[in-house]
Amino acid sequence: MTQTPTTGDDAPTFSVALADGDVSAFDLEDALGDGPVVLAFFPGAFTPPCTSEMGALQDHLDEFRDAGATVYGVSADSPLSQNVFREREGLEFGLLSDMGRSAIGAYGLEIDIDDLGLIGVANRAVFVVDEDGTIAYDWVAEDPTNEPDYEELLAEVKNL
């Protein structure tokens, strides 16, 4: 498995599908340069911890936007499932569908959650990528049911 990048490393780039009500192509390189990019990897849509995390990011979305940041959730779910999840949960930010595990693999986050039958999903993690493509903040859960410290995350984004 690829080593997980940390603060100061170049952010691995990737191309996946973007679910934002529609489905389109997304390339991380194209998203850089317009302010920080927050990549919130999560195991799976519709699960309680992931729903809680995405809801918390939505609750802080105006603050992230005020800081110039763009937020994306990243999971191995299909973009069609992600769009249903976005609508059901009232999420106003895009979700990145990594069904091929290219981003999950590049960030060293692939895990199995055997008791739920989830194989090759993303561990819960958050990376903030600055305009130059450098990781400015990283957090990786020791247990995928844990959530990040949203106030710490927001403070790091505001410091960029």
Which residues carry out catalysis? 50
How far apart, in Å, are the Cα atoms of 65 and each of 14, 38, 51, 84, 99?
A: 23, 11, 21, 23, 27
DSSP state of 108: T
Nearest to 99 by CA among 84, 70, 127, 121: 121
Rounded Cα distance between 160 and 125, Å, is 19
What's the number of CA atoms in the CB half-sphere (13 Å) around residue 34?
Answer: 11
